[in-house]
Amino acid sequence: MSEPLLALKHISKSFPGVKALDDIDFSVQKGEVVGLLGENGAGKSTLMKIISGVYTPDSGDIFWQDKKIKLKSIMDAQEKGIAIIFQELNNCPNLSALENLFLGHEIRTSANFVDFRAMKKKAKEIFSYLDVQIPLEKPVGKLSVALQQMIEIGKALLANAKLIIMDEPTSSLTDKEVQKLFQIVKELKERGIAVIFISHKLEEVFIITDRIVVLRDGKHVGELKTSAATQDELVALMVGREMHSFFSKRTKEASDETILKIENFSGPPYIRGVSFYLRKGEILGLAGLIGAGRTELALLMIGAEQKTSGNMVLHGKEIDVRSPWQAIQHGIAYLSEDRKMKSLVLQMPVRANITMAIHSAVTGTLGMLDRKKELEVTNSFIRLLDIKTSGPEQTVNNLSGGNQQKVVLAKWLATKPSILILDEPTRGIDVHAKAEVHKIITDLADKGTSIILISSELPEIVALSDRVVVMHEGQVKSVLEKKDISQENIMSTVFSA
């Protein structure tokens, strides 16, 4: 009845200090969409890298269409028909869309010249099949994440892939882009192409998959037909126990003391006349659709971009913030939504990344690095945020995606800011860690830190915020008081704009 395309038997893989995969069995049928779930560091990406030839397993066997195979490289896997779209996209940002699409597989003329005309024709065919408009000459680094993914999917189709692995493809897509991606997954399925889909968003996994496999601590802990699975069951499998409350509740109310006033901010690219205030110990939600200008506003506030008009009043005194460094001096920290590009030095250890913004605090009297202090701070954050790492010396590159996000959070918490701007702080992190981050946010606020929370997840905004500023097209549409905060009210404000 079902045709096994890929089967893994007893796969194990260790890295120094961690058994990432422990005796895993895993299979995919032709035309099947399999969801892979698990907490940060559970081993999802590692398993996918084994299937796609990036890593070789320490032990275990791989069968492709019932034949035992060894995958020696990504190329090797590609030739078999296995394609992967990595969690952290690894295309060549400076090359054009066309060049990326055909990288390593250029079409050549009989005289062995690269045949651009034939490549363009083929590219147009593929993108029209995918129903996307992609400027072929543009460097892909300048395209949206969604379009970059479409190029990767195009590449998989070009290579006649029978299995396409998507590692957290939706984490930086808008709702509309997610719908589009799902449409494509359905079409792939109809063509008999199998898809492995990784996401921390359970709703998505319910919509798009046929079967769900759950990993925990490198072990295969459960497998369910999607139609028979429930959310509670999946969460229990992932975290290894029942979890009832996802959202932390505030124990204290924000004080009446206004700590920060933003007056009439305007600036690039399209922020116009934004004003609001922030109280001590308050969590102020910033809601709006992607493109509403929330990140752009934050960048103006910390001086990463220069405003064209407006004032910022901190503790009753006007301040002039022209760089993120000056913002930190004033006790304002910003956690960027884009952890890889802006916040981490991937080749450096966890220790250096966490203490990067508090260099002076871990420097001794003679200007020498105080190793002991540095380790103390690092270890306290590894414990506080439950960062899964083999230790403070692990390079951040080797952490799972979600654990990288926790390192970024630690880096900014270490500056002990009085105002903390969090931009999508729970993107890409699992349910359990998310609950932890929510608890950390409410604890910080209870202790007097003022927080501006930018999030595309309305339940998160609704559960945590004391007030919500709703933005649309670079302007403030309305400010909701605690009693008026609900998903419906926020959405109707956005759409009445």
Query: Which residues contact ligand ATP (rule: CB under 6 A)?
Result: 15, 18, 20, 38, 40-46, 87, 388, 398-403, 430
The site partner of 351 among Mg ion, ligand ATP, none (C-beta below 5 to 8 Å per kind) is: none
Stretch of 43-51, 73-81, 352-360, 440-448 lying at the interface with Mg ion (CB under 5 A): 43-51
116 binds, among Mg ion, ligand ATP, none (CB under 5 to 8 A by kind): none
Least Å from the CB of residue 61 to ligand ATP: 20
Which partner from the list Mg ion, ligand ATP, none does 18 bind, CB cut-off 5 to 8 Å by kind?
Answer: ligand ATP
Q: Which is nearer to ligand ATP, 167 or 296 (CB)?
A: 167
Identify which of residues 300 and 399 has a Cβ nearer to ligand ATP in the complex. 399
Residue 40 CB, nearest approach to Mg ion (Å): 7
> Of residues 43, 53, 324, 401, which one binds Mg ion by CB under 5 A?
401
Q: In angstroms, give the least distance from the CB of 49 to Mg ion.
A: 9
Q: Which does 426 bind (CB under 5 to 8 A by kind): ligand ATP, Mg ion, none?
A: none
Phi/psi of residue 445, nearest 5 degrees = -65, -45
In the complex with ligand ATP, the residue whose CB is nearer, 47 or 292, is 47
The nearest distance, CB 156 to ligand ATP, in angstroms, is 20
Residue number of the CB atom closest to Mg ion: 45
* Smallest separation (angstroms) from ligand ATP to the CB of 259: 34
Q: Specify the residue for token string 């069995």.
A: 25
Nearest CB to ligand ATP, comparing residues 393 and 484: 393
* Identity of the residue, 43 or 392, whose beta carbon is nearer to ligand ATP in the bound complex: 43
Nearer to Mg ion, 337 or 374 (CB): 337
> Considering only residues 182-201, where is the footprint of Mg ion by CB under 5 A?
none
Pick the closest to residue 32 from 148, 178, 181, 163 (CA basis).
Answer: 163
- Which bin fits 258, alpha (ψ -120 to 50), beta or left (φ > 0)? beta
Considering the complex, state which of residue 31 and residue 169 has its C-beta at the smaller distance from Mg ion: 169
- Whole-number minimum distance, CB 45 to ligand ATP, in Å? 3
Task: Give the whole-angstrom CA distance, residue 144 versus residue 257.
Answer: 41
Q: Which residue number, 12 or 266, has a Cβ lying nearer to ligand ATP?
A: 12
**CA–CA dist 357, 336 (Å, integer):** 14
295 vs 403 by CB, closer to ligand ATP: 403
Minimum separation from the CB atom of position 39 to ligand ATP (A): 7
CB-wise, 169 or 401, nearer to Mg ion? 401
Q: Does 154 bind Mg ion (CB under 5 A)?
A: no
Q: Minimal distance in Å, beta carbon 414 to ligand ATP? A: 21
Q: Which does 15 bind (CB under 5 to 8 A by kind): ligand ATP, Mg ion, none?
A: ligand ATP
Shortest Å distance, C-beta 152 to Mg ion: 16
Structure tokens at 172: 């930086």
- Three-state helix/strand/coil letters over the chain: CCCEEEEEEEEEEEECCEEEEEEEEEEEECCCEEEEECCCCCCHHHHHHHHCCCCCCCEEEEEECCEEECCCCHHHHHHHCEEEECCCCCCCCCCEHHHHHHCCCCCECCCCCECHHHHHHHHHHHHHHHCCCCCCCCEHHHCCHHHHHHHHHHHHHHCCCCEEEEECCCCCCCHHHHHHHHHHHHHHHHCCCEEEEECCCHHHHHHHCCEEEEEECCEEEEEEEHHHCCHHHHHHHHHCCCCCCCCCCCCCCCCCCEEEEEEEEEECCCEEEEEEEEECCCEEEEECCCCCCHHHHHHHHCCCCCCCEEEEEECCEEECCCCHHHHHHCCEEEECCCHHHHHCCCCCEHHHHHHHHHHHHHECCCCCECHHHHHHHHHHHHHHCCCCCCCCCCEHHHCCHHHHHHHHHHHHHCCCCCEEEEECCCCCCCHHHHHHHHHHHHHHHHCCCEEEEECCCHHHHHHHCCEEEEEECCEEEEEECHHHCCHHHHHHHHHCC
**Residue from 13, 45, 208, 434 binding Mg ion (CB under 5 A):** 45
Closer residue to ligand ATP (CB): 88 or 370 = 88
CB of 362 to ligand ATP, least distance (A): 24
CB 303 within 8 A of CB 322: yes
Site map 361..400 versus Mg ion, x via CB under 5 A:
---------------------------------------x
Q: Quote the least distance from Cβ 295 to ligand ATP, whole Å.
A: 22
Residues within the interface to Mg ion (CB under 5 A): 45, 87, 400-401
